[in-house]
């Protein structure tokens, strides 16, 4: 039987919830750990399927790894790299694993990494990665679905990215850590996860300047300058934004712990304009609440520090029952409105025109049988089900499990009526909600 969530909506979320480590950061830190020949320990690691996949990727290279789920830590000993190939069977499961390309080229001067293939939310090209590696001196061949990069010596270079690609910025940062001379990445991505990676590398002994701005400079160091370290991952800003949305959508009031508010400034500002209440009660704790119907506003996704595409589907859920009409423009990915047909099944009034979605607020959403089409769209359907009248079922939980640790348990702590089951919806409703 297929696992699914059964959610009974209409209960305001209340209490406290703690945000875990940032998925989009820890995966890159794990890849970066193979640069040093010592042992590295990373804390605040969420228990996610994506983390498990990355563990398998780097273990296949010859590293020794251990995951302590109680301590939420990963230990990586990269004293020996015995294989320079990241196979398609693993890379195809998670695009982020392509990041080992830069680390392997830096450490071993050679890498064979499978092309990650398609992506449900739209095209994510790797030509920026490859052009940047070529600028550093690597010879690139693409054959049989693999990128084969080889360099007898890497030399610092000026690299301009046509778009501020997060993946390309990270891959080129890793590749240039031990390059001779200095590397300058212009039009670099500025996300908090880029800063976290730079801080990790600098703690390891690298020399990275300017992370968090559009220009990053990497001064090359020697292999012996890099050492194993202990490091704590930043909190997950997208998970924090998801819980903010769920609390507001259900007209609840709750505390969100382990938050870096500066990472959520743009989303917080939008929620306040819609009529939500958000207060910083301690440096890393937000109080979020909402009592009245929200007002519609417009959203345009942009690279950080603009409105994050990973929270676009959350914003859409809030607009479905807000006063007036709101427009969302998705400027980053061509296929990131996959939640639209599912929200329509719940009664939402949404008109989609290419990369624009026009949402006219309705009085309420109603429960329906739903299917998670990808990670973020799937999580938004959970929020929609929590705010809807009646009971919903959501299938394809493998997408949601990629990015949310103990999602249903955290929602239960807030009073959400949600169960994971492989039984029929009728059985679970009778067992759980009598």
Q: Which residue in the block uniquely carries the two structure tokens 């959400």?
A: 416
Tokens 């990053």, residue located: 216
CA 45 to the chain's CA centroid: 13
Q: How far is CA 193 from CA 90, 161, 181, 233, in A?
A: 23, 18, 25, 9
SS3 188: coil
Pairing of strands 230-232, 39-43: parallel
Q: Is 290 a catalytic residue?
A: no
Residues whose CB is less than 8 angstroms from the CB of residue 171 and which lie 6 or more positions away in sequence, other chains included:
98, 99, 101, 102, 129, 132, 133
How does DSSP classify residue 144? T
The DSSP code sequence of 359-421 is EE--S--B--EEE--SHHHHHHHHHHHHHSBSEEEEE-HHHHHTT-TTHHHHHHHTT-EEEEE
Distance CA 279, CA 292 (A): 17
Distances in whole angstroms, Cα of residue 89 to Cα of each of 98, 299, 365: 12, 37, 40
CA–CA distance, 238 with 267 (Å, rounded to integer): 10
CA–CA distance, 223 with 205 (Å, rounded to integer): 9
Cα 46 from Cα 64, distance rounded (Å) = 19
Beta strands in 215-347 (DSSP E): 215-219, 230-232, 253-257, 277-282, 285-289, 299-300, 325-329
Catalytic residue among 108, 119, 290, 371: 119
Give the catalytic positions in this structure: 119
């Amino acid at each position: 039987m297929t696992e699914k969530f059964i959610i009974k909506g209409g209960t305001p979320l209340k209490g406290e919830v703690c945000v875990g480590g940032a998925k989009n950061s820890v995966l890159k830190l794990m890849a970066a750990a193979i640069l040093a020949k010592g042992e590295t320990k990373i804390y605040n690691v969420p228990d996610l399927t994506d983390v498990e996949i990355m563990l398998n990727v780097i273990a296949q290279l010859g590293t020794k790894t251990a995951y302590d789920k109680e301590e939420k830590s990963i230990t990586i000993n990269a004293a020996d790299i015995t294989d320079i190939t990241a196979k398609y069977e693993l890379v195809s499961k998670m695009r982020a694993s392509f990041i080992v390309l830069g680390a392997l080229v830096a450490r071993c001067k050679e890498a064979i990494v499978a092309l990650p293939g398609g992506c449900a939310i739209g095209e994510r090209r790797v030509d920026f990665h490859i052009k940047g590696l070529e600028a550093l001196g690597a010879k690139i061949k693409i054959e049989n679905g693999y990128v084969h990069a080889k360099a007898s010596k890497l030399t610092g270079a000026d690299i301009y990215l046509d778009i501020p690609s997060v993946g390309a910025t990270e891959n080129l940062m890793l590749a240039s850590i031990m390059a001779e001379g200095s590397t300058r990445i212009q039009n670099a991505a500025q996300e908090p996860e880029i800063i976290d990676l730079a801080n990790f590398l600098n703690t390891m002994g690298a020399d990275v300047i300017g992370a968090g701005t559009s220009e990053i400079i990497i001064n090359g160091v020697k292999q012996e300058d890099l050492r194993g370290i202990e490091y704590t991952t930043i909190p997950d800003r997208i998970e924090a934004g998801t819980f903010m949305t769920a609390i507001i959508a259900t007209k609840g009031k709750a505390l969100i712990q382990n938050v870096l508010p500066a990472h959520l400034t743009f989303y917080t500002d939008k929620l306040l304009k819609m009529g939500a209440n958000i207060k910083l009660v301690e440096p890393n704790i937000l109080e979020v609440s909402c009592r009245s119907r929200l007002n519609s506003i417009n959203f345009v996704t942009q690279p950080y520090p603009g409105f994050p595409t990973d929270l676009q589907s959350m914003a859409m859920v809030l607009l479905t029952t807000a006063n007036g009409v709101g427009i969302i423009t998705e400027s980053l990915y061509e296929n990131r409105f996959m939640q639209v047909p599912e929200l329509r099944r719940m009664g939402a009034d949404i008109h989609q025109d290419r990369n624009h979605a026009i949402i006219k607020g309705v009085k309420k959403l109603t429960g329906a049988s739903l299917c998670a089409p990808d990670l973020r769209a799937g999580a938004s359907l959970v929020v929609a089900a929590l705010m809807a009248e009646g009971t919903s079922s959501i299938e394809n939980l493998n997408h949601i499990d990629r990015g949310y640790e103990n999602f249903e348990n955290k929602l239960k702590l807030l009073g959400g009526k949600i169960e994971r089951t492989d039984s029929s919806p009728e059985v679970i409703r009778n067992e759980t909600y009598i």
